[in-house]
C-alpha cells in the first residue's frame, strides 16, 4: 500500500536481518526511511538502497513521525533510547516496539515513553525475511485503538492483515507464545526425524505419511533440507535469538504457574549449541544439539 501524506517519515532502530528487510520494504512502499544500527559496519550496503543512515538514535529519530524498534531485546532498547548520549527526544514521537520482549517489559516501556510525552504501541511480527520482503508479516498490535488506526498505512505496508490484539502487553505475550511454538515444533520434529534416520527408514516415506496426518506443520518441510544437509548458514531467524526467546518465555511463564520444565531441557540443548558456535546459524540448527551427527 502506498504511504499517505500523513505518514511519510519513518525511523527504524535496529537494522539486523529483519529490521533491514522491514526498512527496505517501507522504502519500496514510498516511505522516507532513516535507520540506525548498533553495529554500523554491518549496514553500509543499505545506504545505496534508499535508506538514510544515522550515527545515533537521537539523530535517526530527530525528524521522524514514528519510530519502529526492531532491536534484539529489552536491554538493547534501554541502551538505545535511555542510556545513550545524546538521548533521543521522545516528546511528540510515536514509538512502535516490534521485537520480542516480555509483556511487563513492554508495559514498562510504554509508561516511560508516555511519561516523556510520546505515544506507544507494541506491534511484534511473526514471519521471516521472505514475508517481510513481500509485506506478508503477521502483525499483532497492542495499545490504544485510535493509535492503531492512525498507523494503518504503515502496518498494511508490512502485513496483509494487521490485527490489534488488545492492551499493551497482550500482543507481546502472544508473540512470545508463538516463538515458544517455534522452539517446540523444531525440537519435536528434530527428534522424530533423528529416530527415522537412525533406523534407516526412508525419509520421504516418513514425510509422506506425516503430510497426510493432522500432525503436519509446513515448517517441517521448510527446514527439512537444513536437517538432511546439516546446513544452517542461511539464517532467517538466528539460533541465538530463539534461545533468548525460550529463556524469556520461561521467565514469564513460571510466575503464572505454567510448568516450563520441558523448556529447561530445550534451553540446555540451546546452550550446547552456543558453545559449539551455532549462535548465528539458522534456528533449525537446534537439530544438531538433539540428534547425533551421523543421523
Picking from 144, 167, 190, the residue at the C-terminal end of a domain is 167
pLDDT in tens, the chain (295 residues): 333 436 789 999 999 999 999 999 999 999 999 999 988 877 878 878 989 999 999 999 998 889 999 999 999 999 999 998 898 999 999 999 999 999 999 999 999 999 999 999 999 999 999 999 999 999 999 999 999 999 999 999 999 999 999 999 999 999 999 999 999 999 999 999 999 999 999 999 999 999 999 999 999 999 999 999 999 999 989 999 999 999 999 999 999 999 999 999 999 999 999 999 999 999 999 999 999 776 5
The reply to whether 104 and 19 lie within a common domain is yes
In whole angstroms, what is the distance from residue 118 CA to residue 90 CA?
5
DSSP secondary-structure letter at 73? S
Q: Does residue 1 lie within any of the structural domains? A: no
In whole angstroms, what is the distance from residue 160 CA to residue 206 CA?
34
Q: Which value, to the nearest 10 degrees, does the dihedral of the CA atoms of residues 6, 12, 13, 17 take?
A: 160
The reply to whether 242 and 159 lie within a common domain is no
From start to end of the chain, where are the E strands?
A: 9-13, 32-36, 52-53, 66-69, 94-97, 119-122, 125-126, 138-142, 163-166
The reply to whether 46 and 81 lie within a common domain is yes
User: Could you give the maximum distance between any two Cα atoms of the chain, in Å?
Assistant: 63
In this structure, how many other beta carbons lie within 10 angstroms of the beta carbon of residue 255?
Answer: 8
Q: Does residue 94 lie within any of the structural domains? A: yes
Q: Which domain holds residue 226?
A: 173-290
The reply to whether 70 and 155 lie within a common domain is yes
Exposed / middle / buried, residue 238 (Cβ in 10 Å: 0-12, 13-18, 19+): buried
The reply to whether 137 and 119 lie within a common domain is yes
Instruction: Please count the structural domains in the chain.
Output: 2
Picking from 167, 200, 226, the residue at the C-terminal end of a domain is 167
For residue 80, the domain's CATH number is 3.40.50.720
Task: Give the gyration radius of the chain's Cα atoms.
Answer: 20
The reply to whether 17 and 154 lie within a common domain is yes
Q: Which residues are CB-neighbours of 70 under 8 A, at least 6 positions away?
A: 12, 13, 14, 15, 16, 18, 19, 22, 98, 99
The reply to whether 141 and 232 lie within a common domain is no
The reply to whether 205 and 261 lie within a common domain is yes
The reply to whether 68 and 127 lie within a common domain is yes
The reply to whether 182 and 216 lie within a common domain is yes
The reply to whether 162 and 177 lie within a common domain is no
Q: Which pTM value belongs to this model?
A: 0.92
Picking from 118, 138, 167, the residue at the C-terminal end of a domain is 167
The reply to whether 126 and 200 lie within a common domain is no
Q: Does residue 125 lie within any of the structural domains? A: yes
Beta strands 52-53 and 66-69, pairing class = unpaired
Question: For residue 211, what is its C-alpha cell?
Answer: 503430510
pLDDT of residue 292: 77
Q: What share of the chain is helix, strand, coil (3-state, %, to 5)?
A: 55, 15, 35
Amino acid at each position: 500500500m502506498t504511504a499517505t501524506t500523513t505518514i511519510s517519515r519513518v525511523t527504524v532502530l535496529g537494522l539486523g536481518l529483519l529490521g533491514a528487510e522491514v526498512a527496505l520494504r517501507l522504502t519500496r512502499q514510498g516511505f522516507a526511511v532513516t535507520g540506525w544500527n548498533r553495529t554500523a559496519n554491518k549496514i553500509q550496503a543499505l545506504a545505496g538502497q534508499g535508506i538514510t543512515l544515522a550515527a545515533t538514535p537521537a539523530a535517526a529519530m530527530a525528524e521522524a513521525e514514528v519510530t519502529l524498534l526492531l532491536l534484539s531485546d529489552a536491554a538493547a532498547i534501554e541502551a538505545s533510547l535511555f542510556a545513550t548520549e545524546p538521548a533521543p527526544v521522545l516528546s511528540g514521537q510515536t514509538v512502535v516496539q516490534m521485537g520480542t520482549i516480555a509483556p511487563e517489559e513492554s508495559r514498562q516501556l510504554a509508561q516511560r515513553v508516555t511519561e516523556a510525552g510520546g505515544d506507544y504501541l507494541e506491534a511484534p511480527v511473526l514471519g521471516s525475511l521472505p514475508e517481510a520482503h513481500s509485506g506478508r508479516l503477521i502483525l499483532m498490535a497492542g495499545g490504544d485503538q485510535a493509535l492503531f488506526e492512525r498507523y494503518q498505512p504503515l502496518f498494511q505496508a508490512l502485513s496483509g492483515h494487521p490485527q490489534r490484539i488488545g492492551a499493551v502487553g497482550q500482543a507481546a505475550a502472544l508473540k512470545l507464545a508463538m516463538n515458544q511454538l517455534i522452539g517446540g515444533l523444531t525440537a519435536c520434529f528434530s527428534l522424530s526425524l533423528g529416530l527415522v534416520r537412525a533406523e534407516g527408514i526412508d525419509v520421504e516415506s516418513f514425510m509422506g505419511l506425516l503430510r497426510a496426518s493432522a500432525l503436519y506443520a509446513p515448517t517441517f518441510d521448510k527446514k527439512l533440507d537444513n536437517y538432511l544437509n546439516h546446513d544452517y548458514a542461511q539464517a532467517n531467524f538466528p539460533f541465538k535469538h530463539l534461545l533468548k526467546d525460550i529463556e524469556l518465555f520461561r521467565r514469564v511463564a513460571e510466575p503464572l504457574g505454567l510448568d516450563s520444565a520441558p523448556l529447561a531441557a530445550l534451553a540446555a540443548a540451546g546452550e550446547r549449541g552456543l558453545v559449539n558456535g551455532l549462535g548465528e546459524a539458522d534456528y533449525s540448527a537446534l537439530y544438531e544439539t538433539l540428534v547425533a551427527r551421523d543421523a
